[in-house]
Amino acid sequence: MLDRIPFLIGLRYTRAKRRNHFISFISLTSMLGLTLGVAVLILVLSVMNGFDHELRTRVLGMVPHTRIEAQNGVNDWRALAEQLQRHDHVVGAAPYIEQQGMFSSNGQTQGAMIEGILPDAEEKVSIIGNHMVGGDLASLQQGTWNVVLGSTLARNLGVGLGDSVTLLVPEASITPGGVFPRLKRFTVSGLFQVGAQLDGNLAYTSLGDMKTLARQQGEAQGIRLKLDDLFQAHSVTREIINSMPPGYRGIDWTYTQGNLFQAIQMEKRMIGLLLMVIVAVAAFNIVSTLVMVVTDKHADIAILRTLGATPGSIMGIFMVQGITIGIIGIALGVLAGIGLALSIADIISWVESVFGIQFLDPNVYFISYLPSRLEFSDVMVVTGVALLLSFLSTLYPAWRAARVQPAEVLRYE
């Protein structure tokens, strides 16, 4: 029965209406602080997880995991692709020719990267076929001079399916009339949209047409590879290049998108640490709450001690009270954080539609919407750390309560 006394009295102190309303206010503030801190921390971690996931699935689904290029072009890309696919981690290979240029139409111009591909082979290394919003990737056949544009690029140029665009490449052609930039007119036969910055600076055309336009030596510039584990891209690329004759080089995704991925990881850790400080401040508000409760309950403590309560039992009473405040605040925060994490994308979309604004401009950010990906491990870590901080914040006030001397307190009662 004595073992239950600290638990019962601690709960009674938690839910009882105190004579000192200021103490009740501080207790409520501590609880709300924990709720807000935990909820915001779960929400922000989920958003950072969403950015990380979108980078992996969308951006890195369009960007090759690694590229193997030949100095003078690849003469027989099929033989080379077959050789590269013998590697244990390579799951797909496709030829490409890459060329920077500037599109022009309707008085609008915009720079872009245009890639010559084979539609059937490209599906093995890219997700572009799953994100076509108009036309068909199969329309990119040699001699048709068709082009597939990103949706943002097409919108900026003011063109749609069936319209013509002019591509200017940064190479000069020498003619009897002088030196002129190389121009070629393409027909827009498809549009894609992945919801990333690539929508505004990437275009696809036929491998054969690009070979003619770029005056590429050999059948292709290089081979794009898809790996079973993109985080092994650097080591796999090094292994492949070491096994090939001189004249080849490898470029993996860490050279083009690695800084972005590392930035997201670092931001997740730093933001999580900063928000955890907010949770710590809210948790340690419990200290001030319990200190004032201990001061207010000196007479009660003294009476319990004279009835046989041990110092450990007195400590247990106030630890139960503090931990109860923490558990309630953390539980409400977890529920609120999970709810916000699951619905934040819809909330932001509604705000954008109502007020006519866009929080993430695809010309600036690598995606145009706010992603969220709730992970159970993050919820468990946040909950565990918050509970630990709440527990630690009860130790000092409970220790002070256990040191109260009944004789000194009751002398003046």
Contacts of 32-35 spanning 24+ positions with Cβ under 8 A: 32/329, 33/278, 33/281, 33/282, 33/285, 33/329, 34/279, 34/282, 34/283, 34/325, 34/326, 34/329, 34/330, 34/333, 34/386, 34/390, 35/329, 35/330, 35/332, 35/333, 35/336
Q: With beta carbons less than 8 A apart as the criterion, state whether 208 and 121 touch.
A: no
pLDDT at 361: 66
DSSP state of 362: T
Find how far residue 237's CA is from the centre of its chain: 26
Query: What distance in Å separates the CA atoms of residue 302 and residue 295, rounded to the nearest whole number?
Result: 12
**Secondary structure of residue 256 in the 3-state scheme:** helix
Q: With beta carbons less than 8 A apart as the criterion, state whether 194 and 79 touch.
A: no
Query: What distance in Å separates the CA atoms of residue 323 and residue 286, rounded to the nearest whole number?
Result: 9
List all residues 6 or more positions away from 210 whose beta carbon is below 8 Å from its beta carbon. Answer: 97, 99, 114, 115, 116, 216
Query: What distance in Å separates the CA atoms of residue 374 and residue 355, rounded to the nearest whole number?
Result: 27
DSSP state of 391: H
Q: Where are the alpha helices (DSSP H) in 55-91?
A: 60-62, 77-84
Residue among 220, 206, 225 at smallest CA distance from 83: 225
Pair of tokens at residue 293: 């409760």
> Euclidean distance between the first and final Cα of the chain, in Å?
28
Query: What distance in Å separates the CA atoms of residue 148 and residue 122, rounded to the nearest whole number?
Result: 13
Q: With beta carbons less than 8 A apart as the criterion, state whether 131 and 122 touch.
A: no
Tokens 């690695």, residue? 258
Q: Report helix angle 21-54 to 311-355, nearest 10.
A: 50
Q: With beta carbons less than 8 A apart as the criterion, state whether 110 and 45 touch.
A: no
Query: What distance in Å separates the CA atoms of residue 348 and residue 357, rounded to the nearest whole number?
Result: 10
Query: What distance in Å separates the CA atoms of residue 161 and residue 190, rounded to the nearest whole number?
Result: 6
Query: What distance in Å separates the CA atoms of residue 147 and residue 141, rounded to the nearest whole number?
Result: 10
pLDDT at 148: 93
In a 10 Å sphere around its CB, with 0-12 CB exposed, 13-18 middle and 19+ buried, how is residue 243 labelled? exposed
Strand partners, 167: 103, 184
H/E segment holding residue 39: helix 21-54
Pair of tokens at residue 291: 């200190």
**Secondary structure of residue 398 in the 3-state scheme:** helix
Query: What distance in Å separates the CA atoms of residue 157 and residue 147, rounded to the nearest whole number?
Result: 14
The amino acid at residue 163 is: D
In a 10 Å sphere around its CB, with 0-12 CB exposed, 13-18 middle and 19+ buried, how is residue 52 labelled? middle
**Secondary structure of residue 67 in the 3-state scheme:** strand
DSSP state of 95: E
Would you say the pTM of this structure is higher than 0.85? Answer: no
Pair of tokens at residue 180: 């002129």
pLDDT at 367: 67
Which of the residues in the chain have pLDDT under 70?
1-3, 5, 7, 10-24, 171-181, 196, 258-261, 264, 361-368, 407-413
The alpha carbon torsion through 248, 252, 256, 259 (nearest 10 deg) reads -140
Query: What distance in Å separates the CA atoms of residue 249 and residue 255, rounded to the nearest whole number?
Result: 13
pLDDT at 186: 92
Find how far residue 364's CA is from the centre of its chain: 16
Residue among 97, 193, 81, 201 at smallest CA distance from 142: 97
The amino acid at residue 198 is: L
pLDDT at 1: 38
